[in-house]
Structure 1
Amino acid sequence: MEGSSLRHWKVIPILLITLQFTTNMVLSLADAPFDKQRNIEYIKSSCSSTTYPRLCYRSLSIYANKIKTSPRLLVDTALNVTLKASKSTSRLMVKISTIHGLRPRVAAAMADCIEVIGDSVDELQQSIEELGHISRSNFALTMSDIQTWVSAALTDEDTCMDGFAGKSMNGNVKTMVRKRIVKIAHLTSNALALVNNYASTQSNLP
């Protein structure tokens, strides 16, 4: 009888631990949809201040669980998404430039584009690296550098398109280049808007 009672008291702590674990799991699962919705709403709200809010939301909402409601992670993700698209565009343009029989003016415009988009990629990479080293003590100076680099990346993308201006440049190459450059220019513009928002919001903190 005494042995049975002892076994009974040993079982109770195990039951309590199991109950606590189950309760925590239920609460965690109950909070998950709320957290995800809150993260998505944060991204949607942040994107509303950009020039291309639909593109902003579409490109960033898939990273809601990573971004959560962090302004720094929002900016970091926006810059990385833009960098990835810019690298892809750069590779495509190098491939297009090897097409046999390009008209001389088109070939020259492609060469210029490859150079300036390469610069844009470098500037976006620098921005991401600097963001990773940001702290309260160097915040203002670092954000100023990041704003300068992202602005320069956007200017480079505009420069690429300027090289294809005029009806004489019309054709399949211009159409392909324009489609990709416009996309990364819009992503860069959105990233810059989020960078500017982050800089102005954080600079007002004590």
Structure 2
Amino acid sequence: MSPAAMLSTLTLFVVLLLPGPSAAASHGQRRPNDLVHLSCVHARYPSLCFRTLASYSGPANPRSIAQAAVGASLSRARSVSGFLRGQALGQGGHLSKREQAALGDCVEQISDSIDQLSRTLRELQHLKGETLQWQISNAETWVSAALTNEDTCLDGFEGVDGKVKTDVGRRITRVARLTSNALYMIVRLDVSRGRPKGRVYP
């Protein structure tokens, strides 16, 4: 599925599941854990979302929750990047050419993902009223691109067997799920800010 199609599907899903205005209006009275539960319950991977944000104690508002979700994905992506580089250096002589190529491509793709998630986090930390919708649209685009890179990394190991594929696959799958949840949080924030329902944004 293309990033635009993925984003369109997720946006529609969020619109259908978002709480009504009365619930949104009460965010200010909620504790952080209450808002985490409300934010995670309809995420694509809710159990992972709950575990990831279980210790969140920051401001009880959707933007801060979205920042925390992106930060969790970014932290995991950096960890995975270190693992991939270690595999490429430490096992280079023991890997097949196919494994070496897939691992090398994956290193680059996760590096791009880290850059996109970093840009997203900076954007969410500096939202301004006059450019709010444009900034959130940027964030959606970058996180969607990061997710595509992570999925592409996994695709590169198709037809490859062995421990390297298993180890890489497990780690990339986890970071991709975190990124998917982060994208949900940003789309949820976007819809709550009044984007027209059903419209596709690149």
> TM-score normalised to the size of structure 2?
0.79
CA distance in 2, matches of 1:76, 1:40: 15
1:60 aligns with 2:48: no
- Segments of structure 1 that go 5 or more residues without pairing to the other structure are 1-36
Which residue is equivalent to 2:120?
A: 127
Cα displacement string for residues 169-199 of structure 1 (whole angstroms, at most 9, x for unaligned residues): 1100000000000000000000000000001
SS in 1 for 2:94: coil
1:106 aligns with 2:99: yes
Matches within 5 A, 1:183-194: 183-194=174-185
1:182 aligns with 2:178: no
Higher helix fraction: Structure 1 or Structure 2?
A: 1
Amino acid of the structure 2 residue aligned with 1:85: R
Of residues 72, 76, 81 in structure 2, which corresponds to 1:81? Answer: 72
CA distance in 1, matches of 2:62, 2:188: 9
1:46 aligns with 2:39: yes
CA distance in 2, matches of 1:101, 1:52: 35
Amino acid of the structure 2 residue aligned with 1:50: A
CA distance in 2, matches of 1:103, 1:173: 11
Of residues 69, 87, 90 in structure 1, which corresponds to 2:81? Answer: 90
Q: Between the two structures, name the one with larger relative contact order (CA 8 Å, sep ≥ 6).
A: 2
Give the CA deviation at 1:135.
1.3
Give the CA deviation at 1:39.
2.2
Residue identity over aligned pairs, in percent, reads 38
Which residue is equivalent to 1:11?
A: none
Which residue is equivalent to 2:152?
A: 159
Amino acid of the structure 1 residue aligned with 2:50: Y
Contact 1:140 1:203 in 2 (8 A): no
Amino acid of the structure 2 residue aligned with 1:172: K
CA distance in 1, matches of 2:69, 2:185: 8
Q: Which runs of 4+ in 1 moved over 3 A?
A: none
Amino acid of the structure 2 residue aligned with 1:184: V
SS in 2 for 1:138: helix
Q: How many residues align?
A: 165
CA distance in 2, matches of 1:103, 1:153: 27
Amino acid of the structure 2 residue aligned with 1:41: D
Contact 1:79 1:188 in 2 (8 A): yes
The structure with more radius of gyration: 1
Which residue is equivalent to 2:61?
A: 70
CA-atom RMSD in angstroms? 1.4
Of residues 109, 112, 116 in structure 2, which corresponds to 1:116? Answer: 109
CA 1:38 to 1:133, structure 2 compared with 1: closer, same or farther past 3 Å?
A: closer
SS in 2 for 1:62: coil
